[in-house]
Amino acid sequence: MYRRSTRSHASSKGASSEGARLGSASGRRGRLGWRFARRTGARLVALVALLVPVAMLAGAQASSALTPGLPGVSGLPSAPSLPSTPSLPSTPSLPSAPGTPSLPPAPPSVPSVPSPAQLLSTIEGLVGQAPSTIEALAAQLLSTIEGLPGDILEYPGSLNYTLRVVYQDPNGTQSTTNYPATLGVPVLVSAGSTAPDIAADLVIDPTSSHAVLDVVKLPGAPSTLPVEVEAIFTLPSASGTSQRSVFGYDTLASSAPGLYQGTANLIRTSSTVLDAVLDFTDSQPGSSLVVIAGTFEETPSGPQNAESVSLSYSPVPPTASLSTTAGPSAAFDVTSSTTESIANFTATFADGPVTIDTTFQALPTQLSLTYLASAGDFSYSASAPVNKVTADDLNPGGVFGRATAAHLLLENVPQNIDLTALPSTSGGGTVTLDAHGETIGLVQIDLTSGPSDSLPSGEDGVLYEDLPSKYVVFARVIGLQKLSVSQGSSTVSATSQTSPPTSAGVPLAVEIEQQPSGGSLSFTDVTLDNLLSNVSFSFSESSAGVTNMSYSAPGPTTSLTVDTNAGGTETKASMTNPMPASFSVCQSSSSNACQSNEPGGNGSLSFTSSQPTTVNLTRGSLLVQNMVVQNVAVALQTSSGTGCQGPNGTLFFNTNGDNLSGYTTDANDPSGSGHFKVTLPNGFKATNRIITYQVNEADVFGNCVPYSLTVNRSGKISCPSGTNFTIYGGSILGWMNITYNVSVLGISIAKGIC
């Protein structure tokens, strides 16, 4: 592939175009004859010129056949003289194809030439059928040329290509040889010995216009032959300009197969999009083989718009096929088919600075994969489960949000997966994954702008950091079937579906940090001691100051902790012993949004859970300590009154008949100037308890003077000994106990809440 075209090597093995091709000198006359015939219509002259090297080869074969078992022995009668080729008018020198890289001159050393019998045997292996006559071979060669797509002959040099061979000796030293070659004419390569040990041929299939590369390991070649064989050729592109294409295989880590036939269709549909179809068949392969293919445009400043694909197989299947469409924004589609499962398979896609590496342990015989970074979509389907899949995407232009690199790890992969990771224009983003009812043993996603950060080992969850210094998204879930995580400027939601017992006992953590440039830091940390199946969680805060949180799971677990400052106020909360199967909580500081059926202009609060749980919470001045609760709802509305009407208000309190115990205040220091303090012993309960009060005032010389308090009560309430409701601030004497009686200086002026 072109990635090795500038590589330095310790040694260079010589190769001559005359010695490396069949009938090379006459071959050049054949090509010139064909061009001349095409321009003048004298096809017969071209055919004669093309047949000269074939006739020489066949004559030598007839001569050597006189001595069985000793092909090429000197001293035998020579073949009959062939009639002279008619003189052809001189043809002007043709310019090099635009974008064709200049090749170094061939070193003077010439590899040994095998016998004619060996050459014809090689041709038989290359073309698939031995020609019985000189005319049949010539017809095959002419058919190859006539089958070239479009007006390829109008592109000077299109019939020529470069065969690049890299050989690695037993000491690990690599040497590179470039062989100038012609389409349809076999090239002999001396890689691991002085005699030719490889023969290669590149043709254009006349039906599909695909490039077909045949490579044969010749008799007598070393049993272990680590080589890389690439054909570099020029073909017209879809845009009408010429493109350089690279196609071949790499077995430097193993050994060349006995026979390799690869088919490639490399089409650059634009300057940034490459479509490729790569098929191959082989026999007697080594332990591994890498198919390499790509395109580039040669410019005075070097290769431009380079795109490449490499496919590594270990072990090597007898037949494999892969089609891919790779383009801008790290988008690609891949379809793979093999005759057997592959223990280790790696596909690498490179588009300029963008690279995507995907590795499979146990590649199924059928696989389809699609990735579109601009839409955040990744879909996967296969004919069988896979032990392990890794994918790495490096894109300086961005792969997700501000991340420029992505890593995906999947273990025990089912046959179908859909994944979407999409950032939001308003901050945050969404991640969804669906295994369509199957279970993924492990899902781990790592997106980063450079720094590496992750959750502790053994924890499931999501880490999201969008800070001026870094951008990191990390997610890990064991035994996952479905996942959805969404983060907005003031919202967080997550749902997961896992398959126990794989995920039993695994804690879940959600850690989110966001800070716009020049702005303040917002964070959310959630920890669940055990991620059960079918779990959902949400948190939101509206612009009106209403906070909602909910959770649901198939059953209870031990604990949940939350720490967040979403909305500008930090909230710390925990539920323990047990963490209920479900709960919902709502808090509003200025409306009845959490208890809409009751007056609550000064605030409302509600909490409902599937079973009693112990709650601890701090949010601003609000404090809840060791509150054992299953259901509670509170709403408060107060007014200072108009004129001498006096202050008045309504308090709603309901536990739905369930026990409620614990301590709460809306002042961090209950003895200071707060608003309320409540102590509830075990056994306290209420059902729709409503208290209304009115401070009665009289106008005394223009001043409103309180003289009585009216309290009305409805609903039910049970107040064990020790129950205490105290109001701080705003009362006549600065505080007021309203539990059983509303008292002033020890004088009861009204009945209290209880």
Are the beta carbons of 348 and 379 closer than 8 angstroms?
A: no
Q: What 3-state class would DSSP assign to 540? A: strand
Could you count the other beta carbons within 10 Å of the beta carbon of residue 457? 6
Better pLDDT: 65 or 189: 189
Q: Are residues 67 and 205 in the same domain?
A: yes
Q: Percent of the chain at pLDDT above 90?
A: 26
Q: Are residues 549 and 617 in the same domain?
A: no
Which of 282, 316, 350 is where one domain is finished?
316
Q: What 3-state class would DSSP assign to 612? A: strand
Nearest to 247, CA basis, from 193, 284, 200: 200
**What is the model's pLDDT at position 545?**
82
Could you count the other beta carbons within 10 Å of the beta carbon of residue 298? 19
At residue 735 the predicted structure's pLDDT band, cuts being 50, 70 and 90, is low
Whether 375 maps to a domain, the answer reads no
* pLDDT exceeds cutoff 60 at 673: no
DSSP 8-state secondary structure symbol assigned to residue 384: S
Q: Are residues 109 and 13 in the same domain?
A: yes
* pLDDT exceeds cutoff 70 at 426: no
The contacts of residue 543 (CB under 8 Å, 6+ apart) are none
**What is the model's pLDDT at position 255?**
95
**What is the model's pLDDT at position 403?**
86
The whole-number average pLDDT for the span 569-591 is 90
**What is the model's pLDDT at position 7?**
29
Are the beta carbons of 404 and 422 closer than 8 angstroms?
A: no
**What is the model's pLDDT at position 731?**
47
Q: What angle do helix axes 43-64 and 24-40 make, rounded to 10 degrees?
A: 160
- Tokens 């501000």, located at residue: 402
Q: Are residues 69 and 218 in the same domain?
A: yes
* pLDDT exceeds cutoff 80 at 502: no
**What is the model's pLDDT at position 83?**
33
Q: Are residues 503 and 633 in the same domain?
A: no
Better pLDDT: 629 or 151: 629
The whole-number average pLDDT for the span 547-569 is 88
Output the CA–CA distances (angstroms, integers) from residue 335 to 325, 368, 369, 688, in the order listed. 9, 4, 6, 64
**What is the model's pLDDT at position 11?**
36
Are the beta carbons of 570 and 563 closer than 8 angstroms?
A: yes
Q: Are residues 53 and 120 in the same domain?
A: yes
d(CA 648, CA 328): 68
Which of 497, 529, 558 is where one domain is finished?
558
The whole-number average pLDDT for the span 679-686 is 94
Whether 69 maps to a domain, the answer reads yes
Q: How many domains does the chain have?
A: 3
Most confident by average pLDDT, 369-373, 414-418, 515-519: 414-418
Whether 552 maps to a domain, the answer reads yes
Residue range 318-346, pLDDT digits in tens? 999 988 765 555 556 778 889 888 999 99
Between 58-62, 489-493, 717-721, the lowest mean confidence (pLDDT) is in 58-62
The whole-number average pLDDT for the span 503-519 is 82
Whether 382 maps to a domain, the answer reads no
* pLDDT exceeds cutoff 90 at 45: no
* pLDDT exceeds cutoff 60 at 93: no
Better pLDDT: 432 or 145: 432
d(CA 345, CA 313): 5
How is 71-140 classified by DSSP, letter by letter?
TT-TTSPPPPPPPPPPPPPP-PPPPPPTTPPPPPPPPS--PPP--HHHHHHHHHHHHSS--SSHHHHHHH
**What is the model's pLDDT at position 242?**
61
Nearest to 728, CA basis, from 684, 680, 665: 665
* pLDDT exceeds cutoff 60 at 37: no
Which of 274, 292, 316 is where one domain is finished?
316
**What is the model's pLDDT at position 364?**
92
- Tokens 């390569």, located at residue: 189
The whole-number average pLDDT for the span 489-510 is 75
**What is the model's pLDDT at position 622?**
83
The whole-number average pLDDT for the span 641-660 is 88
The contacts of residue 655 (CB under 8 Å, 6+ apart) are 629, 630, 631, 632, 633, 684, 685, 686, 687
**What is the model's pLDDT at position 504?**
60
The per-residue pLDDT of the chain, averaged, comes to: 74
**What is the model's pLDDT at position 106?**
34
Q: Between vectors from CA 559 to CA 554 and to CA 563, what angle results, nearest 5°? A: 115
Q: Are residues 486 and 624 in the same domain?
A: no
Nearest to 112, CA basis, from 200, 14, 29: 14
Whether 572 maps to a domain, the answer reads no
The whole-number average pLDDT for the span 622-636 is 91
Q: Are residues 99 and 241 in the same domain?
A: yes
Read off the amino acid at residue 128: G
- Flag whether the pTM goes above 0.75: no
d(CA 722, CA 739): 10
Whether 585 maps to a domain, the answer reads no
Q: Which residues of 595-606 are buried (b: 16+ CB within 10 A; e: fewer)?
A: beebbbebbbbb
**What is the model's pLDDT at position 590?**
82
Output the CA–CA distances (angstroms, integers) from residue 223 to 123, 125, 319, in the order listed. 21, 18, 22
Long-range pairs, 554-560, Cβ under 8 A, ≥24:
554/581, 555/581, 556/580, 556/581, 556/610, 556/611, 557/528, 557/529, 557/530, 557/532, 558/529, 558/530, 559/527, 559/528, 559/529, 560/526, 560/527, 560/528, 560/529
* pLDDT exceeds cutoff 80 at 712: yes
Q: Between vectors from CA 427 to CA 425 and to CA 429, what angle results, nearest 5°? A: 85
Better pLDDT: 559 or 621: 559
The whole-number average pLDDT for the span 498-515 is 77
Whether 91 maps to a domain, the answer reads yes
d(CA 254, CA 260): 14
Task: Give me 527's structure tokens.
Answer: 């920890």
**What is the model's pLDDT at position 253?**
95
Whether 447 maps to a domain, the answer reads yes
Q: Are residues 36 and 148 in the same domain?
A: yes
* pLDDT exceeds cutoff 90 at 248: yes
Better pLDDT: 128 or 494: 494
**What is the model's pLDDT at position 326?**
58
Most confident by average pLDDT, 114-128, 415-429, 608-622, 638-652: 608-622
Q: Are residues 115 and 236 in the same domain?
A: yes
CB-based burial of residue 654 (10 Å sphere; 0-12 exposed, 13-18 middle, 19+ buried)? buried
List, in sequence order, every residue forming a beta bridge with 714; answer none if it has no partner. 690
The domain in which residue 20 lies consists of 1-316
**What is the model's pLDDT at position 25?**
30
The helix/strand count (H/E) of the chain reads as 5, 43
Q: Are residues 548 and 625 in the same domain?
A: no
* pLDDT exceeds cutoff 50 at 535: yes
**What is the model's pLDDT at position 746?**
65
Q: What 3-state class would DSSP assign to 152? A: helix
Q: Are residues 66 and 5 in the same domain?
A: yes
CB-based burial of residue 157 (10 Å sphere; 0-12 exposed, 13-18 middle, 19+ buried)? middle
At residue 29 the predicted structure's pLDDT band, cuts being 50, 70 and 90, is very low
Task: Give me 277's structure tokens.
Answer: 């179809």
* pLDDT exceeds cutoff 70 at 18: no
* pLDDT exceeds cutoff 80 at 26: no
Q: Taking every pair of C-alpha atoms in the chain, what is the biggest distance, in angstroms?
A: 148
* Strand bridging mode 160-168 / 174-182: antiparallel
Residue range 201-216, pLDDT digits in tens? 998 877 777 889 999 9
